[in-house]
């Protein structure tokens, strides 16, 4: 990422204030996600199901002379709005790398190591359970994801007694985890590549970099270029989520001899929109679990079982184990006011994959897949129950820990 450390405003104060604001927004967004998800499940299993799916599968087109872009509402949300969500993730990551919790190697190492463990172990569990079924193997990345909003929402329920350092650790870990998810989506869930569109996207990226170098601070110019970047990547065969992260890397953090930060401004404007509009809409159009498909038999199928065990066992084992080893080997040190018991509790909260897992699930098992034994409905049940159980266990562990401190 292009990083410009020259700034005239107090970035340390901004970073602390923004983290507080971020945590509040994410927590409230998590509650909204629950409401919209439950509403989607209700509609999908009620007499209103036909209306729900009619809206979800209806087409919206953008036409201009010979240009036309026509997609379903579902795809506009997943390919369009979610690109904006990942733009916000990219902006957050760049800001943290410049003057936040990921600004030095020592700061980034512990959550980075934890994130690697939190992605590797769930994937390993899933692969072991599904290695004999080639088609099912495409779902290996589903349990590797973490839903930032949901995990922070659960943490917020525990109140002000939760150490700020623990919240920041969870936030940093989840951001790195989401970046890993973007890379997995870009590299693994890509079918046919259109190299000409990829070339156009690369040329657009170079133009945006040049604007950054020239200290151009007009946000509209970057957004305009980002639309072209998104369009070319959409038609390149690579998923559009990567467009958001690439665009974020080109937006300048600060401008010479000015207190204005285009990156900070855009992040503040989009953060609330992302948390209160994009993610709830995504949950609404992707959490439509058919309750008729949920049974003991369906949950013991290797796909939903691999997802559930990946989330509720793989996440805590990977995060806790690698964190413990990195500390014992003196590669890292725990943040102040937290211990390994806190890390264990947070590691379970990272098992709340929900929206991110649903997103990867839609790529791993397209709706037109002909293998009913591990279609989207079965895998969604694994995500749903795995996320719920992870959240409950994580909450209980941290609740016990905080109660002991209060005695």
Strand partners, 72: 59
Q: Which residue has the tokens 């049974």?
A: 295
> How distant is the alpha carbon of residue 176 from its chain centre?
9
Q: Which residue has the tokens 């995990």?
A: 151
Radius of gyration, CA atoms only, the chain: 21
CA–CA distances in Å: residue 311 to residues 122, 163, 307, 327, 389: 6, 24, 6, 24, 9
> How distant is the alpha carbon of residue 60 from its chain centre?
26
How far apart CA 359 and CA 240 sit, in angstroms, is 12
Q: Which residue has the tokens 């509720």?
A: 312
In a domain? residue 55: yes
Asked if the model's pLDDT at residue 3 lies above 50, the reply is no
Residue range 85-103, pLDDT digits in tens: 889 888 888 887 887 767 7
CA–CA distances in Å: residue 194 to residues 185, 190, 197, 238: 16, 11, 6, 9
How far apart CA 285 and CA 358 sit, in angstroms, is 10
Q: By the 8 A CB rule, do 360 and 142 touch?
A: yes
In a domain? residue 75: yes
The pTM is what?
Answer: 0.77
Residue 362: give its domain's CATH number.
1.20.1530.10
% of the chain at pLDDT higher than 70: 87
In a domain? residue 326: yes
> How distant is the alpha carbon of residue 259 from its chain centre?
30
In a domain? residue 212: yes
Q: By the 8 A CB rule, do 175 and 89 touch?
A: yes
In a domain? residue 2: no
Name the residue range of residue 66's domain.
11-406
In a domain? residue 38: yes
- Model confidence at 180, in pLDDT bands (50, 70, 90)? confident
> How distant is the alpha carbon of residue 26 from its chain centre?
12
Asked if the model's pLDDT at residue 58 lies above 70, the reply is yes
Residue range 220-257, pLDDT digits in tens: 999 999 999 999 998 888 888 889 989 999 999 875 55
List CB contacts of 108: < 8 A, sequence separation 6 or more.
97, 102, 172, 176
CA–CA distances in Å: residue 86 to residues 81, 90, 278, 381: 9, 6, 11, 25
In a domain? residue 3: no
How far apart CA 21 and CA 30 sit, in angstroms, is 14
Residue range 285-338, pLDDT digits in tens: 988 887 777 766 677 788 999 999 999 999 999 999 999 999 999 888 888 788
Domain tally, the chain: 1
Residue range 193-214, pLDDT digits in tens: 888 999 999 999 999 999 999 9
Helices (H) and strands (E) in the chain, counts: 18, 2
Percent helix, percent strand, percent coil in the chain, to nearest 5: 75, 5, 25
In a domain? residue 44: yes
Establish how many alpha carbons lie within 13 A of residue 338's alpha carbon, considering only the half-sphere containing its beta carbon.
23
| pLDDT, mean over the chain | 84
Phi and psi (nearest 5°) for 63? -125, 140
- Model confidence at 284, in pLDDT bands (50, 70, 90)? very high
Pair of tokens at residue 31 = 């509650």
Q: By the 8 A CB rule, do 4 and 213 touch?
A: no
Of 234, 241, 249, 275, nearest in space to 360 by CA: 241
């Amino acid at each position: 990422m292009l990083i410009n450390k020259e700034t005239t405003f107090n970035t340390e104060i901004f970073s602390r204030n923004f983290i507080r604001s971020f945590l509040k927004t994410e927590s409230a967004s998590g509650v909204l996600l629950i409401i919209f998800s439950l509403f989607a499940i209700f509609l999908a299993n009620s007499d209103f199901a036909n209306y729900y799916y009619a809206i979800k599968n209806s087409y919206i087109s953008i036409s201009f002379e010979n240009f036309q872009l026509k997609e379903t509402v579902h795809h506009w949300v997943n390919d369009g709005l979610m690109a904006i969500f990942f733009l916000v993730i990219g902006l957050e990551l760049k800001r943290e790398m410049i003057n936040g919790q990921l600004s030095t190697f020592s700061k980034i190492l512990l959550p980075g190591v934890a994130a690697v463990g939190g992605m590797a172990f769930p994937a390993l569990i899933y692969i072991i359970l599904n290695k004999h079924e080639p088609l099912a193997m495409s779902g290996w990345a589903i349990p590797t994801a973490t839903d930032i909003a949901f995990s922070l929402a659960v943490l917020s329920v525990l109140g002000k007694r939760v150490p700020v350092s623990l919240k920041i650790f969870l936030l940093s870990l989840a951001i790195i985890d989401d970046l890993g998810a973007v890379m997995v989506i870009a590299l693994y869930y890509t079918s046919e590549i259109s190299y000409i569109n990829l070339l156009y996207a690369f040329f657009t990226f170079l133009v945006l970099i040049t604007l950054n170098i020239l200290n151009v601070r007009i946000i509209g110019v970057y957004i305009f270029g980002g639309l072209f970047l998104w369009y070319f990547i959409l038609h390149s065969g690579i998923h559009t989520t990567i467009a958001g992260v690439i665009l974020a890397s080109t937006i300048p953090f600060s401008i010479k001899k000015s207190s204005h930060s285009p990156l900070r401004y855009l992040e503040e404007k989009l953060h609330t929109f992302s948390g209160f509009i994009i993610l709830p809409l995504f949950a609404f159009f992707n959490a439509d679990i058919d309750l008729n498909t949920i049974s003991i038999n369906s949950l013991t199928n290797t796909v939903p079982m691999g997802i559930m065990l990946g989330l509720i066992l793989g996440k805590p084992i990977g995060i806790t184990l690698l964190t413990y080893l990195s500390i014992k080997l003196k590669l890292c040190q725990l943040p102040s006011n937290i211990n390994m018991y806190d890390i264990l509790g947070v590691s379970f909260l990272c098992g709340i994959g929900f929206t991110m897992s649903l997103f990867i699930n839609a790529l791993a098992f397209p709706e037109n897949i002909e293998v009913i034994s591990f279609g989207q409905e079965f895998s969604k049940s694994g995500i749903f129950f795995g996320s719920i159980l992870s959240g409950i266990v994580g909450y209980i562990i941290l609740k016990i820990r905080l109660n002991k401190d209060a005695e």
